[in-house]
Structure 1
Amino acid sequence: MGKTIVITGAGVGLGRALARRFASEGETVILLGRTFSKVQALAEELGEPHFAVECDVGSADSVRAAFAKIAERHPKIDVLINNAAIYEPFMVEKATDDQILTIMNTNFAGPIFTCRAAIPMMEKGGTILNVTSESVALEFPMLSLYASTKTGLERFTDSLSLELQPAGIRVSTVRAGPMYEAGKDMNVHWDPAAAQQFYQLCGEAGIHLAKRPISNVTSVTSVFRAMIDLPPDVRVTHASIEARHA
């Protein structure tokens, strides 16, 4: 019998690639996204029994409502993948209140909200995968809040793993490097001036973005498949995905 897998940020990029893969392999995927039209379009593409639920993970009320809808059809879930995140470069001195709070709420509070909602619906053998970033270890300019939220998420993951160990629920970090989705402009919502400054400062810091290897999102899904399929007597607390030149 297939697993029931909840994926946040499922409308684009890695989330969409994971949903397509798991659906093709007989799992039931529940697609969470802030923009309902995106996750609904994917749900229609995948067909039944997969379905979409509108959810802004940065809002505790939205998460509660989303998981209440999930519970109507699936009182038990097997896997939660916290993939949703805001990735935007900016200088702190120029950051708006909305930029700061949206990143903090989406990237850090969001996975805590979804874990809190999902844990009562999980049983022994359940899996929670929290997606973080290479920016935890590699110092990028203009990504102070993004890197801080991902660092905090890794620390939260370690603590939650110990907390849920008696219940038999595995909690792991998947730290991801650069990746792309064919046909999708990764930086379409960035302020052009901030984007130009980001690329310039990265180059000055020795991080040459145009020369770095980048992985296709479909390739990255294999790591998540392996993490979900671990034998019951094995746990992997941290996996790092790095891009390489093929």
Structure 2
Amino acid sequence: MGKSIVVTGAGKGLGKAIARRLAAEGNTLILLGRTLSKVEAVASELGHGSYAVECDVGSPASVRAAFATVAEKTPVIDVLINNAGVYEPFTVAEATDAQIEAAVQTNYAGPIYCSREAIPLMRKGSHIINISSESINLPFVMFSLYQSSKAGLERFTETLCQELKPEGIAVTMFRAGQMMDEDSSNNWPPEIGRRFHEGNLRAGLDLRARPISSFGSVAEFFPTLINLPADVSLPIIQMEARHR
């Protein structure tokens, strides 16, 4: 029997790839995203009763409203995948209030807000998966807010895992490597992109020489992850790209 699975940031990238892969297994996907038209398009493609809900995970009010809608349609959530994130290089000295708030609220607070609302809809055997990044252990420049927000998410995940053990709800921290697909692009100003690349080169990190996996390849692991035997736990997973 299929599971009811909530995926945040499901309108593009890894979230979209995960949704596609899990829908192919007969699961029902509940797709959350800030741009309703994007997640509606994905839900229409998936079928299996999948549906879209507008949600800005960085806003507690938006998350509350989204999960209230979910609760009306889907009383039990089997899996929550906290995937939504913002990925933008900037220096602390040049950071705008909006950039700082977006990184902290979306990457760190967002999974907390979503977990808080999802837990009452979960039962023994349910599963929360938080998507982190290998970047927390690499010498990136212009990524202090992204890295620190993901590091905070990892610590939160470790603690939440212990907190929910008595309830029989599993929690996994999924640390992903560099990935993209043919539709991947960023809206960074060219000068920011140049400084980011050159700064990381000086720090000994040549991003263009590092291997890159596809979103679809990473998503292939998720059917296994959400269908683990009842006597098996995977609290921490690190997946890295490799050269073919």
TM tier relative to shorter chain: over 0.9
Counterpart position of 1:238: 236
User: Please, which moves more after superposition, 62-71 or 226-235?
Assistant: 226-235
Alpha-carbon offset, residue 226 of structure 1: 1.9
Counterpart position of 1:212: 210
Asked if the contact 2:139/2:200 (under 8 Å) is kept, the reply is no
Counterpart position of 1:49: 49
SS class of match (1:71): helix
Counterpart position of 1:34: 34
Asked if the contact 1:14/1:181 (under 8 Å) is kept, the reply is no
SS class of match (2:221): helix
User: Please, which moves more after superposition, 15-24 or 220-229?
Assistant: 220-229
Counterpart position of 1:156: 156
For 1:207, the aligned partner's letter is L
Per-residue CA deviation, residues 168-204 of structure 1 (Å, 9 max, x unaligned), is: 000110000100122332x2x2122111100001111
Asked if the contact 1:124/1:167 (under 8 Å) is kept, the reply is yes
Counterpart position of 2:133: 133
Normalization by structure 2: what TM-score? 0.98
Counterpart position of 1:193: 191
Q: 2:220 aligns with which of 216, 222, 225?
A: 222
RMSD: 0.9
Asked if the contact 1:13/1:217 (under 8 Å) is kept, the reply is yes
Alpha-carbon offset, residue 222 of structure 1: 2.4
Counterpart position of 2:17: 17
Distance across 2 between alignment mates of 1:61 and 1:179? 31
- Structure 1 residues without counterparts, runs of 5 or longer: none
Alpha-carbon offset, residue 57 of structure 1: 0.1
Normalization by structure 1: what TM-score? 0.97
Alpha-carbon offset, residue 229 of structure 1: 1.3
- Structure 2 residues without counterparts, runs of 5 or longer: none
Q: Which runs of structure 2 are paired with 1:65-214 in the superposition (5 Å)?
A: 65-185=65-185, 187=186, 189-214=187-212
Alpha-carbon offset, residue 208 of structure 1: 0.9
Distance across 2 between alignment mates of 1:184 and 1:66? 27
Distance across 1 between alignment mates of 2:8 and 2:183? 21
Asked if the contact 1:7/1:80 (under 8 Å) is kept, the reply is yes
Per-residue CA deviation, residues 79-126 of structure 1 (Å, 9 max, x unaligned), is: 000000000000100000010011100000000000000000000000
Distance across 2 between alignment mates of 1:209 and 1:15? 23
Counterpart position of 2:60: 60
- Work out the number of aligned pairs and report it: 244
Per-residue CA deviation, residues 139-186 of structure 1 (Å, 9 max, x unaligned), is: 21000000000000000000000000000000110000100122332x
For 1:58, the aligned partner's letter is G
Alpha-carbon offset, residue 48 of structure 1: 4.5
Could you list the structure 1 runs, at least 4 aligned residues long, displaced by more than 3 angstroms after superposition. Answer: none
SS class of match (1:94): coil
